[in-house]
């Protein structure tokens, strides 16, 4: 089979981790005789530098025609002075919105050799395997009105959280289906005791869940969930929540796995899905061959599974990651001061070598 991929390498560590991801993909291509046709485009800071906008039409059109999009992290201090709608982040948000990617899947999985890399006690985190589903194209990230208005002491900034019934039901329904294929438990997270947008979320989620009698459904309030994630993360299977709460809780939850550099993501819901590491562009270590490419590599594994149903190929990548970590190889984000770390390129090579047909 031939698959057309659009590659958005991104900013900061983006191009480095993307290069290792592509290396792994080439290995899959070799073993299974699939063909991945790669088309490189610019978005985020790289596009601002070349074209003055974070999401050029050319990039968006290519993405819409692709079979899947692979994206590196974007942003950096270089673009901090720009107004919000011209920042690299606006490119990311535009892409998610334009592609209709309403569900962002962030799997929180602890690889056993990394149990000491986490700041949490091994008995709290061992065997952790949960899935956060973050609503991605609505909520406070996109609601109108938004902006900074007025003058002087009365100048004010405003954002609006809006959730429509249809937006909540589509993401909760997908989460129920995902839970059904896993351990059959779904926790919906909101702040219904204070926010009307959350009250609607709460009620719609409860309603949708009634159609999935085999899935155990519960609600949690977001502040409690933030605490429970650290106190007893094993209580969860699938978590579904709003755009903003999902952004925050997924960074928090990544620490159960040792590093944000371990957190891949899949954004689904439209015709073309997008795969990207959940972490940022880490400009402080960019260009130093130090970044952890595993989130990018695991995002590619998710692409093979969710977009192309190549389950065996996807699993081979996950198993290679597991094997390499078991051999004791770690990038700098995963080591303590006494351990030796491998570079981004070395990690990519090690994973590639472990993938055998």
Residues that bind ligand IPM (CB under 6 A): 75, 89, 92, 247, 278
Contact 234, 253 (CB under 8 A): no
Q: Is 247 among the residues known to form the active site?
A: yes
Strand partners, 215: none
Q: Which is nearer to Mn ion, 269 or 279 (CB)?
A: 279
Given ligand IPM, Mn ion, none, residue 89, with its beta carbon under 5 to 8 Å by kind, binds ligand IPM
Q: Which listed residue (141, 163, 236, 275) is catalytic?
A: 141
89 binds Mn ion (CB under 5 A): no
Q: Which is nearer to ligand IPM, 29 or 251 (CB)?
A: 251
275 membership: H or E segment, kind and range: strand 273-275
**Alpha-carbon distance 47 to 10, whole Å?**
9
Strand, coil or helix: what is 36? strand
Output the residue with the shortest Cβ distance to Mn ion. 247
Size of the site for Mn ion (CB under 5 A): 1
Q: Which is nearer to ligand IPM, 46 or 215 (CB)?
A: 46
354 binds Mn ion (CB under 5 A): no
Contact 13, 46 (CB under 8 A): no
Q: Which listed residue (11, 247, 305, 330) is catalytic?
A: 247
Nearest approach, Cβ of 100 to ligand IPM (angstroms)?
16
Given ligand IPM, Mn ion, none, residue 25, with its beta carbon under 5 to 8 Å by kind, binds none
Angle at 44 between CA 38 and CA 48, to 5 degrees: 110
| DSSP structural state of residue 308 | T
Contact 272, 99 (CB under 8 A): yes
Nearest approach, Cβ of 16 to Mn ion (angstroms)?
20
Nearest approach, Cβ of 265 to Mn ion (angstroms)?
10
Output the residue with the shortest Cβ distance to ligand IPM. 89
Q: Which is nearer to ligand IPM, 113 or 293 (CB)?
A: 293
Nearest approach, Cβ of 239 to ligand IPM (angstroms)?
15
Handedness of CA 173, 280, 49, 266 (dihedral sign): negative
Q: Is 49 among the residues known to form the active site?
A: no
Q: Which listed residue (223, 284, 311, 353) is catalytic?
A: 223
**Alpha-carbon distance 23 to 313, whole Å?**
14
Q: Which listed residue (71, 115, 191, 330) is catalytic?
A: 191
Choose which of 247, 276, 313, 333 interacts with Mn ion (CB under 5 A): 247
**Alpha-carbon distance 64 to 78, whole Å?**
28
Q: Is 80 among the residues known to form the active site?
A: no
**Alpha-carbon distance 196 to 120, whole Å?**
35
Nearest approach, Cβ of 187 to ligand IPM (angstroms)?
20
Nearest approach, Cβ of 150 to ligand IPM (angstroms)?
26
Q: Is 333 among the residues known to form the active site?
A: no
Q: Is 191 among the residues known to form the active site?
A: yes
Structural tokens at position 114: 């990394």
Structural tokens at position 59: 């990039």
**Alpha-carbon distance 91 to 25, whole Å?**
25
**Alpha-carbon distance 59 to 62, whole Å?**
5
In the complex, the residues that contact Mn ion under the rule CB under 5 A are 247
Which residues have a catalytic role annotated? 141, 191, 223, 247, 251
């Amino acid at each position: 089979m031939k698959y057309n991929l659009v590659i958005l390498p991104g900013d900061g560590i983006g191009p480095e981790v993307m290069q290792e991801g592509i290396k792994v993909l080439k290995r899959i291509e070799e073993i299974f005789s699939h063909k991945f046709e790669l088309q490189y485009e610019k978005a985020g800071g790289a596009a601002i530098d070349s074209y003055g906008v974070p999401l050029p039409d050319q990039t968006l059109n290519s993405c819409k025609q692709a079979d899947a999009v692979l994206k590196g992290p974007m942003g950096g201090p270089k673009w901090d002075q720009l107004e919000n709608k011209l920042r690299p982040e606006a490119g990311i948000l535009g892409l998610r919105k334009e592609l209709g990617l309403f569900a962002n899947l962030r799997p929180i999985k602890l690889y056993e050799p990394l149990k000491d890399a986490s700041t949490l006690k091994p008995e709290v985190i061992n065997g952790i395997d949960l899935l956060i589903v973050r609503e991605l194209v609505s909520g406070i990230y996109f609601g109108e009105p938004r902006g900074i208005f007025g003058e002087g002491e009365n100048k004010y900034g405003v954002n609006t959280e809006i959730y429509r019934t249809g937006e909540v039901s589509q993401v909760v329904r997908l989460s129920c289906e995902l839970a059904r294929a896993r351990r059959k438990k779904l926790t919906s997270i909101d702040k219904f005791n204070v926010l009307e947008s959350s009250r609607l979320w709460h009620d719609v989620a409860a309603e949708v869940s009634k159609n999935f009698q085999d899935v155990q459904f519960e609600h949690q309030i977001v502040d409690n969930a933030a605490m429970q994630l650290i106190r007893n993360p094993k209580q969860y299977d699938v978590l579904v929540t709003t755009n903003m709460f999902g952004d925050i809780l997924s960074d928090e939850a990544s620490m159960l796995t040792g590093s944000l550099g371990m957190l891949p993501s899949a954004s689904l819901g439209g015709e073309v899905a997008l795969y990207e590491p959940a972490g940022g562009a880490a400009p402080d270590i960019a260009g130093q061959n130090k970044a952890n490419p595993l989130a990018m590599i695991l995002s590619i594994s998710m692409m093979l599974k969710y977009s192309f149903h190549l389950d065996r190929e996807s699993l081979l990548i996950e198993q290679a990651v597991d094997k390499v970590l078991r051999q004791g190889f770690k990038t700098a984000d995963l080591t303590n001061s006494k351990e030796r770390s491998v570079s981004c390129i070395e990690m990519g090579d090690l994973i590639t070598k472990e993938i055998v047909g």
